[in-house]
Amino acid sequence: MYNTLTKRKEPFRTVAPNQVGIYLCGPTVYDKAHIGHMVGPVIFDCVKRYLVYCGYKVTWVVNITDVDDKLIAKANERGISMLEVAEENIADYNDNLAALGVDQIDHFPRATECMNEIIGIIESLIEQGYAYESEGDVYFDVGKDSDYGKLSNRTLEAMQGEGGGTAARKRGLADFALWKVAKAGEPSWESPWGQGRPGWHIECSAMSKKLLGETFDIHGGGLDLVFPHHENEIAQSECCHGKPMVTYWAHNGLLRASSAAGKVGGRGEREAADEGGKMSRSKGAGGLADLIGRQGGERIRFFLLRTHYRSTVLFNEPAIEEAGTGLDTFYRFFKRYERVTGQNVYDLEVPKTRAAGEIVAGPSELLAEVAELRNKYLKAMDDDFNTGGAIGELFELVRKLNKYCDDHELESPNKQSAKAEPFIRGTTTLRELASILGIFSKPAAAARGADDQLLGQIMQLVLDLRTEARANKNFATADAIRDGIGPLGITLEDRAGGTEWSGGGDSTLDGIMQLLIELRQTARANKDFATSDTIRDRLAELGVTLEDRPGGTEWSQG
RNA sequence: GGCGCCGUAGCCAAGUGGCUAAGGCAUCGGAUUGCAAAUCCGACAUCCCCGGUUCGAAUCCGGGCGGCGCCUCCA
């Protein structure tokens, strides 16, 4: 595992045997989440899944910073309380996490719920001489901490410090606030230094201590948090406790909008927005819920995991769509699995641990190959959670399974059922490995609202076919269409200006598709390829593909 | 200015001293198909440039060039 503190990869060792504590810096909830906020949660969700899979007992904490200058400003601006601002954005954050399949978090502490712990640490720091009170503020005395700067590799001289209005109250320019005196009208808490509220960094020292102890295993966050946030956390916690705070500091790379400099949601983007919003917010910051609606959570998760977590990721929507094209290979395979076995791939019983998933290859050539790919996959994950490399093995695995299916004609009705056994075992391994990444555990949610739009377009196609049939005096076909869609809850009315339709419900789309497929089969049986190809081509224009198989035709949305 | 990261095929991306440089997307052949789609098989990179270390470097070192981050709120 790579450690920002030592700047190299190190063997993984835990503080307590077989137990791992992970703390990830979550959001300051002054505004809606953007996709950049999801990188850390997604990767650490996989880290936890993998460690659990490897036999560790893992506790994962993601904090919520719900008291801060920007929250206060936002509350004043909107005329509501800071708590209301926080609640609203926490709900948004949780929705986004759920959509991306992040469900491994054990504790979600909030800064405002840990005031006693926060004040306790500050008191201890003052007692030990690492902090001082100044006009109701309390500052950490950076000059007293000989280790200061070890994480971000900075010297005190290089530090510019906060400056500004509070500079006069500080002994050293680089000193940072542990506690801030309350201004009129601000939310505040009682403390030994009067009414006030915590500074930015102290809440993480308090919450991690409360839930994971004074020394824990992994502390994560975005690369942009290394300085000052994590540097200051180390300073506070280690001066207070006199021992190391964290064994491994793990920082994920930042997302960058590819067509413009700067990270997503970063300064460049904000300035561009200030200058008249030339740069679209949809490039990344904001609109995460919309993006999830358009693309679906699994695509976004897969997109994020394709790249190693420490790399910068160039973010844009076509890139997510490309990742989705790759995912479709797996979804198609899952349908194929169902055709072969009659079982839903999501119902497979999947091994939960590394030991349980071990393959006893036996005489099967397929399983020997699956076992090798599994080893390569696990080797990649063992190397600093290399999800990008691991995903490559997943693609190899699905190809092997498809090939086996081809070679042994598993879709043929008179297949030898014994041949399906290694296929099922191999698919089980695919699901096992995917579950480490948190994908393919359940059917991917369809894009919101896409069905309604598609139904309208497909109805237009149906009506065109019927109109053409009527023009050709082919009333058998025309009536077959009307009789076929009636039971689906759709009514047709032929008027002078054309045919109007109305009605339809949730399952209508699939029914219409079945009707179209039947019409096409009839045309093909009659060697009327012009009609059958028209149906397929028109559907293709709408993003619907038809696949002819021995057992019938299947449709899917691309 | 200080601290740091990155530059592998048209695009995305693994690999960080030694088997034929993973994988995905796109493209082009072939098998299959009434034609397609899907699937399978195959094609597609001397790893930014220059020098050095080494029996051997995409991988280590030095120097360029180019891109990016942090140093102020940030995931």
Q: Which residue is nearest to nucleotide B40 (CA to C1')?
A: A403
Residue nearest to nucleotide B22 (CA to C1'): A392
A425 and A521, same domain (yes or no): no
Rounded to whole angstroms, the distance from the CA of residue A380 to the C1' of nucleotide B56 is: 26
- Gap from A378 CA to B38 C1', Å: 30
Residue A174 in contact with residue A159, Cβ under 8 Å?
Answer: yes
Q: What is the DSSP letter of A110?
A: B
For residue A375, pLDDT beyond 60: yes
| Nucleotide with smallest C1' distance to residue A549 CA | B38
Nearest nucleotide (C1') to alpha carbon of A307: B13
Nearest nucleic acid nucleotide to A70, CA to C1' distance: B73
> What does pLDDT average to over chain A?
88
Q: How does pLDDT run across A459-471, given as a tens digit for each residue?
A: 888 888 888 888 8
Q: Which residue is nearest to nucleotide B26 (CA to C1')?
A: A322
What the block records as the tokens of A193 is 């230094």
Q: HSE on the CB side for A281, CA within 13 Å? A: 14
Q: Which nucleotide is nearest to A160 (CA to C1')?
A: B71
Alpha helices (H) in A151-201, listed in sequence order: none
* Segments forming the whole domain that contains residue A552: 450-557
Domain boundary among the residues A252, A278, A295 is at A252
Query: Which residue is it, tokens 């712990």?
Result: A117
Nucleotide nearest to A226 in CA–C1' terms: B70
More confident residue, A540 or A301: A301
**Alpha carbon distance A381, A388 (integer Å):** 9
Distance A475 CA to B60 C1' (A): 79
A350's CB contacts (< 8 A; 6+ apart) are A428, A431, A432, A435
How far is it, in rounded angstroms, from Cα A70 to Cα A29? Answer: 9
Q: What is the DSSP string of A277-308?
A: --S-GGGSSS-HHHHHHHH-HHHHHHHHHTS-
Smallest CA–C1' distance to B11, residue: A319
In this structure, the answer to whether residues A154 and A90 fall within a common structural domain is yes
pLDDT of amino acid A558: 62
What would the mean pLDDT of A308-320 be, rounded to a whole number? 92
Residues A16 and A162 in one domain: yes
Q: What is the C-alpha to C-alpha distance for residues A332 and A205, in angstroms, rounded to an integer?
A: 47
What is d(CA A50, CA A557) in angstroms, rounded to the nearest whole number?
32
Q: Give yes or no for residue A497 having a pLDDT over 90.
A: no
- The answer to the question of residue A258 being in a domain is no
- Burial class from Cβ neighbours inside 10 Å (0-12, 13-18, 19+) for residue A273 reads middle
> Judging by DSSP bridges, how do beta strands A216-222 and A19-24 pair with one another?
parallel
pLDDT band at A556 (very low <50, low <70, confident <90, very high): confident
> Given CA atoms A78, A82, A84, A88 in this order, what sign does their dihedral have?
positive
Among all protein residues, pick the one whose CA is nearest to the C1' atom of B14: A389
CA–C1' A376–B19 (A): 16
Q: Where does the pLDDT of residue A545 fall: very low under 50, low under 70, confident under 90, or very high at 90 and above?
A: confident
A8 assigned to some structural domain: yes
What does the pLDDT look like over A399-424, one tens digit per residue? 999 999 999 999 888 778 889 999 99
CA of residue A258 to C1' of nucleotide B66, angstroms: 16
Identify the DSSP state of A358: -
For residue A547, is it left (φ>0), alpha (ψ between -120 and 50) or beta? beta
Taking C1' of B25 and every protein CA, the nearest residue is A322
On whether residue A112 sits in a domain, the answer given is yes
Question: ∠ CA A203-A235-A210 to the nearest 5 degrees?
Answer: 35
Q: Does some domain include residue A259?
A: no
Token pair for residue A348?
A: 């497979």
**pLDDT at residue A483 in the model:** 82
Say if residue A423 is in the same domain as residue A457.
no
User: Does A42 have pLDDT greater than 90?
Assistant: yes
| Confidence label for A223 from pLDDT (cuts 50, 70 and 90) | very high
Does residue A197 sit in the same domain as residue A241? yes
The DSSP bridge partners found for residue A176 are A140
Beta-bridged to residue A263, according to DSSP, are A256
A425 and A460 belong to one structural domain: no
Q: Find which nucleotide's C1' atom is closest to A158's CA.
A: B2
| C-alpha span between A127 and A125 (Å, rounded) | 5
pLDDT recorded at residue A376: 96
- Could you tell me if A240 and A168 lie in one domain? yes
- Transcribe A196-252 into DSSP letters: EEE-TTHHHHHHHHHHH-SSEEEEEEEGGGIIIIIHHHHHHHHHHHSS-SEEEEEEE
Pairing relationship of beta strands A498-503 and A57-62 according to DSSP bridges: unpaired
Q: Report whether A423 contacts A366 (CB < 8 A).
A: yes
Nucleotides of B under 7 A from a protein CB: 1-6, 12-16, 22-26, 33-41, 67-75
Are β-strands A2-3 and A8-9 bridged in parallel, bridged antiparallel, or unpaired?
antiparallel
Q: Estimate in Å the CA A375 to C1' B10 gap, whole number.
A: 33
Identity (one letter) of the amino acid at A328?
D
| Number of structural domains in chain A | 3
Q: Would you tell me how many other CB atoms lie within 10 Å of the CB of residue A142?
A: 22
Q: Are residues A12 and A92 both part of a single domain?
A: yes
Indicate if the pLDDT at residue A274 is higher than 50: no
The pLDDT value recorded for residue A273 is: 42
Q: Classify residue A136: in a domain, yes or no.
A: yes
Average pLDDT over residues A194-203: 94
User: Which nucleotide's C1' atom has the smallest distance to the CA of A153?
Assistant: B3
pLDDT at A268 over 60: no
- Tell me the per-residue pLDDT of A324-336, one tens digit each, with 9 for 90 and over: 999 999 999 999 9
A133-137, A151-155, A176-180: least confident range: A151-155
CA–CA gap between residue A191 and residue A115 (Å, rounded): 9
Residue A7 CA to B52 C1' — how many Å? 26
CATH of residue A75's domain is 3.40.50.620
Q: Which CATH number fits the domain that encloses residue A343? A: 1.20.120.640
- Percentage above 70 pLDDT, chain A: 91
Q: Which of A252, A268, A285 is the last residue of a domain?
A: A252
Say what the alpha-carbon torsion angle A193, A198, A202, A207 is, to the nearest 10 degrees.
110
Q: What angle do CA A169, A174, A179 make, to 5 degrees?
A: 55
The whole-number average pLDDT for the span A306-331 is: 93
The nucleotide minimizing the C1' distance to residue A313's CA is B12
Write out pLDDT tens, residues A67-125: 998 999 999 999 999 999 999 999 999 999 999 999 999 999 999 999 999 999 999 99
Cβ(A428)–Cβ(A401) under 8 Å? no
Same domain, A518 and A422: no
Nucleotide nearest to A220 (CA to C1'): B75
Note the CA–C1' distance, A30 to B74, in angstroms: 12
Distance from residue A1's CA to nucleotide B49's C1', rounded to whole Å: 33
* Nucleotide in closest CA–C1' contact with A265: B74
| Through-space distance between the first and last CA atoms of chain A, rounded to whole angstroms | 38
Average pLDDT over residues A352-360: 95
DSSP A554: E
Number of H helices, E strands in chain A: 17, 16
C1' nearest to CA of A227: which nucleotide?
B70
Domain membership of residue A369 (yes or no) is: yes
Name the most confidently modeled range: A74-78, A211-215, A476-480, A501-505. Answer: A211-215
Give the pLDDT of residue A278. Answer: 27
* Cβ count near A487 (within 10 Å): 9
- Dihedral, CA of residue A116, residue A117, residue A119 and residue A123, to nearest 10: 130
Spatial distance from the CA of A129 to the C1' of B61 (Å): 45
A393 CA, B22 C1': Å apart: 8
Q: CA–C1' span, A262 to B8, in Å?
A: 24
Residues A336, A483, single domain; the answer is no
Task: Tell me: do A148 and A14 sit in the same domain.
Answer: yes
Distance A150 CA to B29 C1' (A): 57
- Give the sign of the dihedral formed by CA A174, CA A176, CA A180, CA A184: positive
User: Which nucleotide is nearest, taking the CA of residue A33 and each C1'?
Assistant: B75
Note the CA–C1' distance, A35 to B66, in angstroms.
Answer: 28
Domain boundary among A413, A437, A461: A437
In a domain, A344, yes or no: yes
Average pLDDT over every residue of A41-56: 97
Provide, in whole angstroms, the distance separating residue A419's CA from nucleotide B30's C1': 28
Is there a domain that residue A412 lies in? yes
- Nearest Cα residue to A115 out of A21, A162, A178: A178
Specify whether A426 is located in the same domain as A503: no
